[in-house]
């Protein structure tokens, strides 16, 4: 006789689990609070649909924090595995110049979602819409919409994080889990903008300007990429990747120091030599012509250096490689691309099963792990779903 599995949440992790479960062994029902699956999946596609990243797996796994948490699932269902699976569903992909993986041009996010839903239907997955999980009853059965009780042999939660509430990812479940004795952590904004109090003269002229080909470091972590200067502060992939380090300061109610490397391809020594030996006598011309710094980078340097530092090649070279900026706060959680927090990893075994409730699992962004933008978050969610499916399929 088939075992029953209830999957609560129709995002990437829940859909991947449902798609890879053995339907000869399990009767699978997917419960979704909205009228359709994958609402956040579709919203993510509006900014460029990064399905995964083409990095070699050894390097790709280093993008996740903590590194060990998803390692086994990522090995089982790699970036290449995801591309092959999507191709089998009729969704060919290509690798962009940045290494990110996208659906082939002309394929819209809704078409990718429809292909996955079609696969669920082919696997005879029952999909129940407008079913909001509202807790457990006294016997540990699932309760939907405050009154409908569902018994299931296996329960899998894939309830999402706390950002983009409009998609249904509102984090209301945190309190329910906490009352059950499960350790949870508050949601924190991740892959989000961070606040900087810019000098007025600088931001008045340069709001919206890009800082391309830079590096940013925080607490001994260094990320290359680009950011945009906004009235709020900084946003972009180079700052997103330092979420955990920056939030580490902010959660202690301390400002977070970051350091901008305005010329990553040059060492401090090379910059200093160029500054000392340049035929240009005017520092601004030297920075523009010899170091090829953009106007916004030069003006940023001027805004954060004294006249003495700007005219001293030794001091200026240090500032070019490590310009100190202070982060005051993160953007609100609901404006973040993703969140950290949720179910503490200490509550889960290596198969994402809750120690306190055997037969109950947690997947996806509702668990306290981090991935940067660029396809890594989606890859992690898909890999978690497939990894759990493999474990359940092989279980007695």
- What's the confidence (pLDDT) of residue 201? 94
Q: Domain 3-189+338-394 belongs to what topology? A: FAD/NAD(P)-binding domain (3.50.50)
Tens-place pLDDT, residues 118-145? 999 999 999 999 999 999 999 999 999 9
Q: pLDDT band for position 366 (50/70/90)? A: very high
CA distances from 104 to 33, 83, 97, 108, 114 (A): 30, 11, 14, 9, 15
Please, what is the Cα angle at 222 between 221 and 227, to 5 degrees? 125
- Cα-trace Rg, the chain: 24
Dist CA 337 CA 327 (whole Å): 18
Tens-place pLDDT, residues 329-344? 999 999 999 999 999 9
CA distances from 82 to 11, 79, 92, 226, 375 (A): 16, 5, 11, 27, 11
- What's the confidence (pLDDT) of residue 168? 76
Is the per-residue pLDDT at 45 higher than 60?
no
Is the per-residue pLDDT at 47 higher than 70?
no
Is the per-residue pLDDT at 170 higher than 60?
yes
Tell if the pTM clears 0.85, that is, is over it: yes
Q: Which two tokens stand for residue 91?
A: 């969704």
Contact between 387 and 363 under an 8 Å Cβ cutoff? The reply is: no
- The arithmetic mean of pLDDT across residues 66-71, rounded, is 93
CA distances from 154 to 21, 301, 394 (A): 12, 58, 14
Tens-place pLDDT, residues 293-302? 999 999 999 9
According to DSSP, the β-strands at 148-150 and 26-32 are unpaired
Dist CA 286 CA 100 (whole Å): 36
Q: How far apart are the first and last CA of the chain?
A: 12
Q: pLDDT band for position 230 (50/70/90)? A: very high
Domain coordinates in residue numbering, the chain:
3-189+338-394, 194-327
- The arithmetic mean of pLDDT across residues 222-243, rounded, is 95
Is the per-residue pLDDT at 280 higher than 70?
no
Q: Which two tokens stand for residue 84?
A: 């092959």
């Amino acid at each position: 006789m088939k075992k029953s599995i209830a999957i609560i949440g129709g995002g990437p992790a829940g859909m991947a689990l449902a798609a890879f479960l053995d339907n000869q062994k399990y009767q699978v029902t997917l419960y979704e609070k909205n009228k359709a699956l994958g609402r956040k999946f579709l919203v993510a596609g509006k900014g460029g649909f990064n399905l995964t990243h083409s990095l070699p797996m050894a390097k790709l796994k280093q993008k996740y924090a903590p590194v060990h948490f998803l390692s086994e699932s990522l090995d089982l269902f790699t970036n290449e595995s995801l591309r092959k699976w999507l191709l089998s569903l009729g969704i060919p992909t290509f690798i962009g110049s940045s290494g990110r993986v996208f659906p082939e041009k002309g394929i819209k996010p809704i078409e990718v979602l429809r292909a996955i839903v079609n696969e669920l239907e082919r696997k005879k997955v029952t999909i129940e819409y407008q079913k909001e999980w509202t807790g457990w009853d006294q016997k540990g059965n699932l309760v939907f919409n405050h009154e409908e009780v569902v018994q299931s042999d296996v329960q899998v939660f894939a309830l999402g994080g706390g950002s983009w509430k409009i998609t249904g990812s509102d984090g209301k479940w945190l309190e329910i889990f906490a009352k059950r004795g499960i350790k949870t952590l508050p949601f924190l904004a991740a892959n989000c903008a961070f606040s900087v109090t810019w000098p007025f003269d600088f931001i008045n002229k340069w709001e919206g300007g890009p800082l391309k080909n830079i590096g940013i470091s925080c607490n001994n972590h260094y990320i290359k990429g680009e950011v945009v200067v906004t009235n709020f502060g900084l946003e972009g992939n180079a700052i997103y990747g330092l979420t955990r380090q920056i939030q580490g300061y902010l959660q202690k109610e301390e400002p977070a120091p970051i350091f901008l490397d305005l010329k990553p391809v040059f060492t401090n020594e090379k910059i200093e030599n160029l500054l000392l030996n340049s035929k240009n006598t005017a520092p601004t011309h030297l920075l523009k012509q010899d170091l090829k710094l953009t106007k916004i980078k030069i003006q940023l340097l001027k805004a954060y250096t004294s006249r003495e530092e700007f005219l001293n090649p030794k001091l200026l070279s240090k500032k070019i490689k490590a310009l100190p900026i202070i982060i005051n706060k993160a953007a609100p959680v609901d404006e973040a691309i993703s969140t950290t927090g949720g179910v503490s990893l200490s509550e889960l075994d290596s198969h994402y099963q809750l120690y306190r409730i055997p037969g109950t699992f947690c997947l996806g962004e509702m668990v306290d792990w981090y991935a940067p933008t660029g396809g890594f978050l989606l890859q992690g969610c898909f890999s978690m779903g497939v990894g759990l499916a493999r474990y359940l399929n092989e279980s007695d």
